[in-house]
Structure 1
Amino acid sequence: MSLLELRAARVRYGPLEALHGVTLAAPAPGLTVLLGRNGSGRTTALRALAGAVRLSGGAVVWDGADVTRLPAHERARRGLCFVPDRRAVFGSLTVRENLELAHAGGDFSPALDAYPELRPLLARRAGTLSGGEQRMLALSRALLSHARVVLVDEPAQGMSPTVASRTYDLLRDLHACVVVAEQRLPPGLRERGDRTAVVYELRRGEIVFAGEAAELPTEGQTASPE
């Protein structure tokens, strides 16, 4: 069953149209991957689901209800967590303070269990962390949010292969609708012959492939337009 959908979605940046009537559905629970190179529209599609950009046409549907006009902060109140590729942490606050903001009760031990690399960094200001460490912190905050919908732009950016693999295991195990945007299919999904992750590949604002991760053509093969 799909929880979050784009229906014939169009997005314009001035005179340029970034999405040309994109339709996709993300199941819940489940992992959906939006693939595409820079300029393909994958990040715009993710931001449209989050309410961070306005549609010029089409609709965003959540649990069967049209939420196209619902602002991003209202979607957040309803249980949507959006982790952008940049500025995803509060740089002037410490790692501990970032985690405390994500969990009002103050128990952020699950985040440190997921990313023990953060434990010795609790007193550090988040802005001084490496790119990979900031992604771990941003994902930790998302894990603590217990959101119904988790949207992440390039979740494993700057991470080592081992930590990146662990990150995808964590995202797959969430009992939520999880949608990520990536330039390439995470290796673990293809190596496992994954038939649970839903994949949409975008090129120039249009979907050229929709199916399971195991069905995605390897690089060099041509995906047939939908």
Structure 2
Amino acid sequence: MITFLARLAFRLVKLILVVAVLLGVAWIFRESLLRTAARTWVVDDPVLKADAIVVLGGGRDWRPFTAADMYLAGQSTVVLVTQPEKSPSQNLLQQPSEAEINTTVLTKKGVPSTAIRPLGQNVTSTRDEALALRDWVIAHQAKDILIPTDPFHTRRARWIFQRALEEPAQLYMFGPFPTLATQRRIGGGTRMDSSPFKLNWRKACITC
């Protein structure tokens, strides 16, 4: 009995040591592991011509800019701008809505107002935007949709949009461009910040 307990204790100690070593290695190389996981997470579809380019809410410093570049490159003749619900502070201070800001960016970048269409009304989440896009796709019999977004949002957004659309149109998620939120300048080099990846990963787990 004592011999059996001794062997069991020895195996347990070995297991603990192995786990400790693995955790130590993972901690030492955590930045590289997170960067690799983040790159795997990012969806970057080929950019083709589409029936519409969708500007999602949020990310006003890159999403409308990229959508405008895509429009001017001839990727589509229609730009859909989602209409997020105005926040209490925007209402109180009478500030322009996110949709108004995105629309202004698009027109300043050269997209004609006739090509810009509102999408949805008072949307509050990516799922609301996906449902609004589904209605538009069905009404216009659209086949291909381009959605530029920030890199770490691409996979979760694709999953949500595909569930909402139920295959009436092909989605192309585009998010390879760097942003201030995904990069940090360190000693003349650039290091990817994994925080947005971890945030979107947690959101994806909650959504599931």
| TM-score normalized by the length of structure 1 | 0.26
Question: With structure 2 as the length reference, what TM-score do the two structures score?
Answer: 0.28
Report which structure shows greater RCO (CA 8 Å, sep ≥6).
1
Max Rg structure: 2
More strand by share: 1
